Chains A and B, each alone.
Chain A
Amino acid sequence: MATDTQLDLWEVFIQSKSGLPYIHSGSVHASDVKMAMQNARDIYTRRGEGTSIWVVPAKHISASNPDDNDMLFDPSNDKIYRHPTFYVMPEGAKNI
């Protein structure tokens, strides 16, 4: 039993319409890239969900460590000048 293989884990990203971002849809198991691509197509685009597919071996994806969230994400909280709503426009100014 311990020797059983369920092949490698791949992550699947689907673009639902051209121009839109690729969004993580889920995973598939496959032994090679062709199989991963076909499996992704058979599993995640059965209802016309996609126009384009990316498959990536799961082992090549690195995720940020939640313990670093303070360091990574909090510092941007006070940089309100990065948002357009920070700026005061004179009344009557349009399309700016």
Chain B
Amino acid sequence: MTTKDATYNYAIRLGDNALILGHRLSELCSKGPILEEDLALTNVALDMIGRAQALLKYAAELEGKGHTEDDIAYRRAEINYHNHLLIEQPNGDFAHTIARQLYLSVFEYLFFTELEKSKDATLAAIASKTIKEVKYHMQHAIDWSLRLGDGTAESHKRMQKGLNDLWMYTGELFEMDVLDTYLLHQHIAVDTIALKAKWQSEIEKILREATLTLPEDTYMQTGSKKGIHTENLGHILSEMQYLQRAYPDAKW
């Protein structure tokens, strides 16, 4: 493994997280609980797709085969996607979407704050742009968690269910494999294990204020670093890749 290869894979992982979350959030367009919220979620989706573009472009450069970010985004097989399982989970109801946003945005805030110190200048630059966006996503998720948790009995129930249903996918956020460790030693990657306690206490604090409870410990699902996904990703990709696959010679 060279640093370049490893960084390529690292950029793909981060890029896929943004790509697939952007996909999921853009599914919500015209489905918001109120028009204003429709526009708010679209803004988050746009941030994600923009981030995906930057990261996958960087991956394409590192790969050095003359591919574009679109080739990478649209032309891989499912097993070569490495987004977290949490991200590909369906939107569910609004509470479910907010629960996913809460888990992720708090994680991303901690993650990119560290990545900003990366020795890899491109990743560090992307991270510092991302932090500004993520702060906003996190505020949005926290505010809605409070409203739903401490709103009506129904919203409380739905929010708690969203949190519980997704809990088993949160363990993966903090996994480190050989590649992560390799890049960590070179001060390129983030030590996610070190983020876990902080993340959990942040989430716990927010949930307490929202009159919600941290889900009980359970078996944590894993697989995305090896390309083993839930059944959801295949459907996302068959939709996303449709035109690129059906008309491989076309330029868009």
Contact = CB atoms under 8 A, between A and B. Distances in A.
Interface of A: 6-7, 28-32, 34-35, 38-39, 42-43, 46
B68 interface: no
A39 B40 contact: yes
B36 A28 contact: yes
Interface string B124-140: 00000000000010011
B1 interface: no
Given A31-B147, A43-B39, A46-B43, A38 B140 contact: yes
Nearest to A7: B34
Contacts of A34: 139, 143
A6 B34 contact: yes
A43 B147 contact: no
Nearest to A5: B34
Interface of B: 34-37, 39-40, 43, 136, 139-140, 143, 147
Given A6-B34, A7-B34, A29-B34, A42 B139 contact: no
A30 B36 CA distance: 8
Contacts of A28: 36
A42 B36 contact: yes
Nearest to B144: A35
18 contacts: A6-B34, A29-B34, A29-B35, A29-B36, A30-B36, A31-B147, A32-B147, A34-B139, A34-B143, A38-B40, A38-B136, A39-B39, A39-B40, A42-B36, A42-B39, A42-B40, A43-B39, A46-B43
Given A7-B34, A39-B40, 14 more contacts: A6-B34, A29-B34, A30-B36, A31-B147, A32-B147, A34-B139, A35-B147, A38-B136, A38-B140, A38-B143, A39-B37, A42-B40, A43-B36, A46-B43
